[in-house]
Amino acid sequence: MASEAEFKGKVAVVTGAGNGIGRACALAYAREGADLGILDREADALAETADMLRSAGARVTSVVGDMTDLDRVVSAFANVRETLGPVDILLNNIGQTARENYSEFWLAKPETLRFVVDVSLMTTLMCSRQVVEAMRERRTGKIVSISSDSAMNGDIGCVDYAAAKSGVLGFTRALARELGPFGVNVNAVCPGPTKTRAMQRIPKDSYERARNAIPMGELCDPEDIANAVVFLSSDKARFITGQTLMVNGGRVFY
């Protein structure tokens, strides 16, 4: 973890902050002194996160909306800049599988493929685009994107998700090369199966298979991901960029 008050005076934006990994990361940033811009499509969940962050002492701006809508993305980041100031840290956390439309690729519908790619890849590109120009000009900033170890493992039934999350990794590496000369770090974290609402909704036998595939014998806690994200967002990661950090209990090595 970063030292105490590592992010005092800094502004962090967390997308998909209403639950799970996003909420855990937002709370971790707040505990380290950051002020937070939080984005999510679920108003009630986002309001709960905002209350938690304020209790931790953070100034908070919350924006409810669908981040696959470019106009909404642009207005959300403008709102954060106007109320909190320039963005120092961006955590791209939005993403999901096809969930109830999960299928092997030969059965997949084009609209499902498009949805997964839009949610799990395009949001990362569009949100990052809102901060890179100012970070480049200020010659400072951290961008961390949540990918998935599914991008490495190639899980059956998750072809669309694996493709999108692999795209996040390619984006991370290319952007790191572009922004390295300007002192901006760009990295990715690949969680394995994690104790989130999505995992709670899957059939029990699928849950057990996921757990049994992990050498450490349990699913990841959202806080495990938050610890990695905070490190990559901190000055301790000053010379780390373009990298992929696996946080999956050994399910996939990279």
Residue 254 has pLDDT above 80, yes or no: no
- Can you give the pLDDT at residue 203? 59
**Percent of the chain residues topping a pLDDT of 90:** 72
Of 1.20.1440.80, 3.40.50.720, 1.20.120.920, 3.40.50.300, the CATH number of 11-247 is: 3.40.50.720
Active site residue 161: yes
**Which listed residue (29, 161, 207, 254) is catalytic?**
161
Nearest-angstrom CA–CA distance, 190 and 151: 8
Weakest mean pLDDT among 158-162, 185-189, 226-230: 158-162
> Per-domain residue ranges for the chain?
11-247
- Can you give the pLDDT at residue 96? 82
Q: What is the 3-state secondary structure (H, E, C) of 111-161?
A: HHHHHHHHHHHHHHHHHHHHHHHHHHHHCCEEEEEECCCHHHHCCCCCHHH
Residue 2 has pLDDT above 70, yes or no: no
Weakest mean pLDDT among 117-131, 206-220, 233-247: 206-220
What is the pTM assigned to this prediction? 0.93
Residue-wise pLDDT for 57-107, tens only, equals: 999 999 999 999 999 999 999 999 999 999 999 999 998 875 666 778 787
